[in-house]
Amino acid sequence: MTEENSPVPKHIAIIMDGNGRWAKQRHQPRFMGHRAGVKAVERIIKQCIERNVSVLSLFAFSSENWKRPTKEVSLLMELFSIALKQQVKRMHSNNIRLKILGDISKFSTSLQTQIRESELLTENNTGLQVNVAANYGGRWDVTQAVQALATKVCSGELKPEDITEDSINNELTTSGIFEPDLFIRTGGEQRVSNFLLWQLAYTELFFTDTLWPDFDSEDLDDAIASFSKRERRYGKTSEQLQGQEDA
């Protein structure tokens, strides 16, 4: 947990929304919006490195997005695979560590292999950590953590009373990664859509109407400027934080 006020968020989590509407505005198929969205991903990675952000978590495909038309889903899978092919070497040479969050067992075996190879290639890198949430759902994440803990209880490895927030944290897909400081959702909707539910407990939220493919460095700076003005109290009073009362 990062209980401190810092002007630059160490971990930024983004719901990259609005690709479809971006394409619609241009009388193009939705897929073109997703393609432009990938370009915006390349940009935000560069901008986060320039701003010394440590972790960037991007929501790319939710566990609910399977409900979309089959054609859109298969185009998104194809795009994911192409983007990995094109980007991973460059990410590696930029010292980026890539991690996929989500239930990848639902993907084709070739995509699963690609994901594992990309993670393996970059696992010892020490620069920006990029988490891509794919077939991810916050409820799924908590459920799989509970299952892992229940298995340990059944085998006698763990007592029910030893289950703590820390032991749940350790079983989440984000284990070992500090919680997001700043959450950004583009595209105008003001909801969390089953992203990092547990992890967002004390994250500062920022919503913008900018559609994801249009999100640029100015938008990022706006979000960071808004973040830097927030007082993160974590339940304490303002006076306590300013040292006027006992901590």
Which residues contact ligand IPE (rule: CB under 6 A)?
15-21, 59-62, 65, 76, 187, 189, 191, 193
Minimum Å gap between C-beta 212 and ligand IPE is 6
C-alpha angle 55/61/66, rounded to 5°? 160
CA distance 209 to 186: 6
Selected catalytic residue, list 17, 141, 181, 219: 17
**Taking CB within 5 to 8 Å according to partner kind, which of Mg ion, ligand IPE, none is near residue 191?**
ligand IPE
Q: Given the complex with Mg ion, which of 10 and 24 has the nearer CB atom?
A: 24
> Tokens representing 57?
């978590």
Partner from Mg ion, ligand IPE, none contacting 19, C-beta within 5 to 8 A by type: ligand IPE
Q: Rank residues 62 and 174 by Cβ distance to ligand IPE and give the closer one.
A: 62
Nearer to Mg ion, 17 or 181 (CB): 17
Fill in the amino acid letter for 42: E
Q: How long is the chain?
A: 247
Three-state helix/strand/coil letters over 50-61: HCCCCEEEEEEE
94 or 194: whose CB is closer to ligand IPE?
194
Partner touching 48 among Mg ion, ligand IPE, none, CB below 5 to 8 Å by kind: none
The DSSP result for 169-219, as a single string, is: HHHSTTTTSPPPSEEEE-SS----TTSSTTTTTTPEEEE--S-GGG--HHH
How many Cα atoms sit within 13 Å of 139 on the Cβ side? 6
Task: Select the residue whose beta carbon is closest to Mg ion and give its number.
Answer: 17
Tokens 């990664």: give the residue. 177
Helix (H, G, I), strand (E, B) or coil at 134: strand
Quote the least distance from Cβ 180 to ligand IPE, whole Å: 15
Q: Which partner in ligand IPE, Mg ion, none is near 15 (CB below 5 to 8 A by kind)?
A: ligand IPE
User: Smallest distance from the beta carbon of 189 to Mg ion, in angstroms?
Assistant: 7
Task: Name the active-site residue from 5, 19, 52, 65.
Answer: 65
| 209 given a catalytic annotation | no
- Non-local CB neighbours of 164 within 8 Å, separated by 6+ positions: none
CB of 104 to Mg ion, least distance (A): 22
Question: Of 16 and 182, which CB lies nearer to Mg ion in the complex structure?
Answer: 16
In the block, tokens 């084709």 appear at: 108
CA distance 100 to 131: 6
The reply to whether 17 belongs to the active site is yes
The residue sitting closest to ligand IPE, measured at its beta carbon, is 20
Helix extents (H) in 12-157: 19-25, 30-50, 70-93, 109-122, 138-154
- Binding footprint of Mg ion on the chain (CB under 5 A): 17
Q: Minimal distance in Å, beta carbon 119 to Mg ion? A: 27
User: Where in the sequence numbering do the catalytic residues fall?
Assistant: 17, 65
